[in-house]
Structure 1
Amino acid sequence: MVSVLPTNSNLDTWRDLPAVQQPEWPDPGELKAVVDELSQLPPLVFAGECDQLKDRLAAVARGEAFVLQGGDCAETFAGATASDVRNKLKTLLQMAVVLTYAASVPVVKIGRIAGQFAKPRSKPTETRDGVTLPAYRGDMVNGFEFTPEARTPDPRRLLRAYHSAAVTLNLARAFTMGGYADLRQVHAWNQDFVAESPAGQRYERLAGEIDRALTFMQACGADPAEFHTVEFYSSHEALILDYDRALTRTDSRTGLPYDVSGHFVWIGERTRQLDGAHVEFLRHIRNPIGVKLGPTTTPEEALALIEKLDPEREPGRLTFITRMGASRVRDALPTLVEKVTATGAKVAWICDPMHGNTFEAPSGHKTRRVTDVLDEVAGFFEVHRALGTHPGGIHIEFTGDDVTECVGGGAEISEADLHERYETACDPRLNRSQSLDLAFLVAEMYRQTH
């Protein structure tokens, strides 16, 4: 196969193609000034870290590891605080411990964090009481408040997104490398949670088993460094192309371009057009990348995406994140997996059980049933088990806070409870208890497939 390695001269070819879901910036001159400033700022992540994640994802594609990717639907600038970042990491760490210990599988931990400040929208405008304004597209673009001032896209928000991402990554690195992620902290992560939560009580029993195992290993003289720190990677949807392009840098080791706004970036279901700007831009960067695939995706489209984004069939380069919906995953997924696998392409398959299962409650709140989320994950595992392929991970929207945004779970949140703590800036998220429920179920299903 002819090598099609990207060169820096290709990084702006996307500008000649249709770019959907982009803001209508009112002042092109101001946008250019912001982009020029962004292009001079230090990288948020490093190319070597992206390569390391690519190696980890190659192990996932080979069936040797499992991805846990999760975090906010849409980060907010106000959420870049120590407590918010710690709570999200705490939930991710607890889920990872459940999966690692209960399923006996290495877990690649990726946060939807430090860059997930923009969201695609189904409609460009929103109407309330006869007033129509631009839709909220995330803090990177405009404000959540329903006023003309807040909803006007402001390119200066791109700079604020960069600085909020830098603060968030700094906190995440401090927590994951500075002792907070030490496996001997498994009980401490649960102290505020165990008494009132069935999932917390189940986790506490597992933490006791881990404690005993660690004590035994230390008595035998083993105390690996992996017990004290964890590898943690950042990710976001590469939606606002001016932002991701401005943060693309040439790696001094190889002379190749990396999007240093995050370790892993993905193309959404609404932006994966083969002849579109997003696919064109991402095919020229060397990060590991993902593509969301909805239930209408054809095998031909999936294979064409592989040809565009991973022509050299590089292990760990491409991840398919399927978002089918609980009612369709068992019918829509098998043909995709079968046809892609038959080509020999080594993609990682991850299940997003959130986005295909959204509905509006009578109260007007957008919500999801935990039973639907669990059912889509179950269908994902069933399909891979039947085909003899590897269910490579889950991609979820969660928060470390005790919100009431999704219906059901061990906490038994009802539609009547949604108003109590409905705090998301966009889509409904699993709370901590619901996230742990999911982790235990996934661990059980993983054991059954291995």
Structure 2
Amino acid sequence: MIQTVGALPAQQQPEWPDAAGVEDAVAQLRSMPPLVFAGECDLLRERLAAVARGEAFVLQGGDCAETFAGVSADNVRNKLKTLLQMAVVLTYAASVPVVKIGRLAGQYAKPRSKSTETRDGVTLPAFRGDIVNDFDFTETARVPDPYRMVRAYHASAATLNLTRAFVGGGYADLHQVHSWNTDFVRTSPAGQRYERLARRLDQALSFMKAIEIDTDQLRTVELYSSHEALLLDYELALTRVDSRTGAPYDVSGHYVWVGERTRQLGGAHLEFAARIRNPIGVKVGPSTTPDDLLALADKLDPQREPGRLTFVTRMGAGTIREVLPALIQKATADGLVASWICDPMHGNTYEAPSGHKTRRFDDVVDEVRGFFEVHRALGTHPGGIHVELTGDDVTECVGGGDPIAEDGLGSRYETVCDPRLNRTQSLELAFLVAELLESAS
């Protein structure tokens, strides 16, 4: 399905049945305060410039698709807890600064491989995320409703408010590392390993206090929001001109990316991303050629500005070692200063015999290993990981140190779209990545 935004085609857009409702919803969004500020986006661009130089590492994670029902203190805290634990492992075990980016406060729209879904002979519009329609498989629920964009704005505002309250209110204090590990994770192999690391961190903090080093800066963290810039009616309505610079920023999130399905060079999504000043990501899959990569860079980052552009690879475990080297070699030869981040989730999805969409943890791990192996062989910097995860004890991805079997997927399969790593699996992945970072340094 292709529609147009301005003179350019825009893929993956809903077929709104109510044009007047779209105009009204967009008008409401244009009158709303920004969700993030341009200065925060600029600071993130500086942090990502350090990643591009090989001086830092990105940890980006969160839900595949956020839901309105998921906007609660418990859900936000659990996701934050997962990111904080992973960041502690990466920072302390690998001795590398970690740029923390949540896949949250805006990830309400999802691309679909088909515009319709059929069950038991009934065909309805596909679920495109809570920002467009409802997950329930009924005719009424699946009608695209433009006023859900306004609900998504308020849900994002609430999520950001909760996140900032947790981060600024002491929850992210490194002195609280044990309190992040008091639930189901604690008894897992990864949780026990984390507890040992936390005790070493306690010792380090006690030493710093004993020699009168100020540790106040360890009581909070920088956490940035991100989502796919998919629903253009929403993103355009939340694009504002910065009073300091006169440049446009998408104030729906600090960092937005263009997906594999919408990165057409002549399309509206790339044109939108090229015009805003936010740091930008673009997903690159196994069909991406070196010339494609340079064309994307020329479009999104013609000035070759450090921190502006991030390539997010999503190749699949069986493909990354074959495809990625030529892309990095071409980028290096051209003098690109982009960051490289590995998304080990989207290329490794399959359907289990039970009918559940799932991923093997071993495949996720293997793609991350391949990502590091390629960069190590070429002498370039593996800049980060982009992971779909949750802080809950779900059963959506098979395997891991506290393994989930295919026949156990139905126990707590809660995602409305793609399968996520639970917190135990996420923590296990963080330890693996820390080891890879140590060996790469």
C-alpha contact 2:86 2:427 (8 A) present in aligned 1: yes
1:295-315 per-residue CA deviation (whole Å, 9 max, x = no partner) reads: 010010110010000011111
* Aligned residue among 294, 300, 325 for 1:334: 325
Structure 1 ranges of 4+ moved more than 4 A: none
* Structure 2 counterparts to residues 33-432 of structure 1, below 5 A: 33-432=24-423
Structure 2 length as normaliser, TM-score? 0.99
Distance 1:194 1:433, change over 3 A: closer
Q: Are 1:14 and 1:278, in contact at CA under 8 Å, matched by a contact in 2?
A: no
Alignment of 1:428-447 (within 5 A): 428-447=419-438
Give 1:29 deviation, angstroms: 1.1
Q: 2-side partners of 1:15 and 1:303: how far apart?
A: 25
TM-score relative to the length of structure 1:
0.97
Q: 1:177, 1:389 → 2: CA distance?
A: 35
Between 196-205 and 58-67, the greater mean CA deviation after superposition: 196-205
| SS state at 1:266 partner | strand
The separation in 2 between residues aligned to 1:194 and 1:139, in whole angstroms, is 29
In the alignment, residue 65 of structure 1 is paired with which amino acid? Answer: A
**1:383-416 Cα shifts (integer Å, max 9, x gaps):** 0000000000000000000000000001110001
Taking a change above 3 Å as real, the CA distance of residues 426 and 131 of structure 1, as seen in their structure-2 partners, is: same
Kept after mapping to 1: 8 A contact 2:185/2:424: no
Q: Which amino acid aligns with 2:176?
A: Q
How far apart in 1 are the matches of 2:267 and 2:436? 37
Distance in 2 of aligned mates of 1:149 and 1:221: 63
**CA drift at 1:192:** 1.4
Encode CA deviations 1:241-269: one digit per residue, 9 max, x unaligned.
01000000110100110000000000000
Query: For each residue in 1:165-190, what CA deviation from the matched residue of structure 2 results, as whole angstroms up to 9, or x when unmatched?
Result: 00000000011111000000000100
Contact 2:229/2:256 (8 A) holds in 1 = yes
Residues 73-131 of structure 1, C-alpha deviation per residue, up to 9 Å, x if partnerless?
A: 00000001000000000000000000000010000000000000010000000000100
State the secondary structure of the residue aligned to 2:275.
coil
1:29 counterpart = 2:26 = no
Contact 2:25 2:146 in 1 (8 A): yes
Give the aligned residue type for 1:238.
Answer: A
Take 2:169 and 2:186, find their aligned partners in 1: how far apart are those partners?
A: 28
One-letter amino acid of the counterpart of residue 23, structure 1: P
The CA distance in 1 between the partners of 2:163 and 2:69, in whole Å, is 16
Distance (Å, rounded) in 2 between the aligned partners of 1:195 and 1:246: 44
Give 1:196 deviation, angstroms: 2.4
RMSD: 0.8
Q: Distance in 1 between matches of 2:61 and 2:5?
A: 28
SS of the equivalent of 1:19 reads strand
* Alignment partners' CA distance in 1, 2:186 and 2:293: 46
Contact 1:370–1:407 (CA under 8 A) maintained in structure 2: yes
> Number of matched residues?
438
Q: Which residue of 2 aligns with 1:3?
A: none
Unaligned runs of 5+ in 1: 1-12
Matched residue type, 1:168: T
Q: Which residue in 2 is equivalent to 1:5?
A: none
Q: What CA distance in whole angstroms lies between the structure 1 residues aligned with 2:366 and 2:313? A: 14
| Contact 1:14 1:281 (C-alpha < 8 Å) held by counterparts | no
Per-residue CA distance 1:190-239 (angstroms, 9 max, x = gap): 01145421110000000000000000001111123321000000000000
Q: Give 5+ residue unaligned stretches, structure 2.
A: none
Residue 439 of structure 2 corresponds to 448
In the alignment, is the contact (CA less than 8 A) between 1:14 and 1:280 conserved in 2? no
Decide whether the 8 Å contact of 1:194 with 1:204 is kept in 2.
no
Partners of 2:181 and 2:195 within 8 A in 1: yes
SS of the equivalent of 1:337 reads helix
Q: SS in structure 1 opposite 2:283?
A: strand
Supply the distance in 2 between the matched residues of 1:114 and 1:123 (Cα, whole angstroms). 26
| Percent sequence identity over aligned pairs | 73
